[in-house]
Amino acid sequence: MFDKVKFAQIIKNISDTYENQRDFSKKSGINRTYLSQYMNMKLDNPPKPNILMKLSKASNGLVNYNELMKICGYTDISLDIVNLESLRDEVEKQYLNELASIHLSAKETEVYDTIIDIFPPNTENMESDEIRNMINSYFEGIDWISEKSKNKIIDKIQLFIEYCNDLNEMQNEIYLKMASHKFGHNQNVLEDYKYNSNKSKKIYMCPVYGQISAGVPNWAEECIEGRLPIDPSLMDIVDPEECFFLRVNGESMNKVVQNGSYALIRRTDWVENGEIAVVLVNGFDATLKKFSKQGDLVVLEPMSDDSSFQVQVYDKNTPIKVIGKYIGKFEMK
């Protein structure tokens, strides 16, 4: 159970170690208003674990993460799962940074993407040399590619494969921990759950298709610039291949997804009024907005802290086409 009185006192104690609340907010990376609401006990629900992690790091030794988790009513099993998820997120960030550090030319990227798309999904038990030899076989018939380019592409693919395998293994640990909590320690049940997790709950590396404007409509480039992980089972995604990411460029949807983050989109040509959609305006301009239709009018509404962004209204003379529904996001903190 969330002890908001004790939690409020802890935040006040941490704040007192700083010269002012602005410094506390800056050090923790948590909004001042949000901190004040908890200090004044105006919020009944506890902060999410990632906020507690930030608080513990900024507490100047007054409180640790585990103590905050317990004060906020998270159980021991929740704590274990959150710790595993935090570790997975750190591993994920490290791999993404390493992958980004291997720079490929446009032609090299085209070869890389082609091989990734057709590479066997089950590589957990393959040796590094075996993977390298398999990748090498895909270069047959590509006469322009140099040994240097080959090595760069192979290094990136091997790192990508290692990344997928490690994330799958860590994800299965989380599932097994959840299963232990749910089913107790019945070994047969756990093994069966683990088997099904391994078989059906794999991370899917979802393609990223260029940028999309979240301000003035702007063309979204139809070329894959990378891939990001999603867990279809946790997000209730039936067919992950119907999903893609678009990198948001602008502030008009910052209440939902921040500038520079990735909006997860499911392909569809129809959404309900009030849902967030990717919409083509005039056949080529793509924008992410809250969508509604009122008679012959289509209304595209920004969701921003910046009041300069205006609602866009189009009549039947402007071609409007929904190309996807917003279902989630990927943000690097």
**Same domain membership, residue 321 and residue 208:** yes
Domain extent at residue 219: 204-330
Residues of the chain with pLDDT under 70: 74-88, 119-126, 170-203, 210-224, 226, 234, 285, 332-333
With vertex at residue 277, the alpha carbon angle to CA 273 and CA 283, rounded to the nearest 5 degrees, is: 110
Q: What is the CATH number of the domain that holds 31?
A: 1.10.260.40
What are the pLDDT digits (tens) for 176-209? Answer: 665 555 444 444 444 444 444 444 446 677 888 7
Last residue of a domain, one of 74, 109, 135: 74
Q: What type of residue sits at position 34? A: Y
Q: Is 289 part of the annotated catalytic residue set?
A: yes
67 lies in the same domain as 100: no
The pLDDT, as a whole number, for residue 303 is 95
Verify whether residue 194 is a known catalytic residue. Answer: no
Q: What are the tokens at 186?
A: 């019945």
- pLDDT at site 192: 47
**pLDDT for 5-39, tens place per residue?**
999 999 999 999 999 988 988 888 888 888 888 99
Give the Cα separation of 187 and 117 in Å (integer): 37
Quick one: 252 and 326 in the same domain? yes
Q: Which pLDDT value is given to residue 198?
A: 46
* Number of structural domains in the chain: 3
DSSP-derived pairing of the beta strands 204-213 and 224-230: antiparallel
Buried b (16+ CB within 10 A) or exposed e, 147-161: eebbebbbebbeebb
Whether residues 35 and 101 fall in one domain: no
Are 180 and 239 members of one domain? no
Residue with tokens 């069966």: 192
pLDDT computed for residue 136 by the predictor = 80
Q: Which of 4, 202, 289, 290 is catalytic?
A: 289
- For residues 150 and 166, state if they share a domain: yes
Residue after which a domain boundary falls, among 74, 92, 124: 74
Residue that the structure tokens 């089950």 belong to: 122
Q: How confident is the model at residue 179, as a pLDDT?
A: 53
CB atoms within 10 A of CB 1: 7
Same domain, yes or no: 221 and 321: yes
Which one is catalytic: 252, 261, 290, 325? 252
Q: Does residue 298 sit in the same domain as residue 233? A: yes
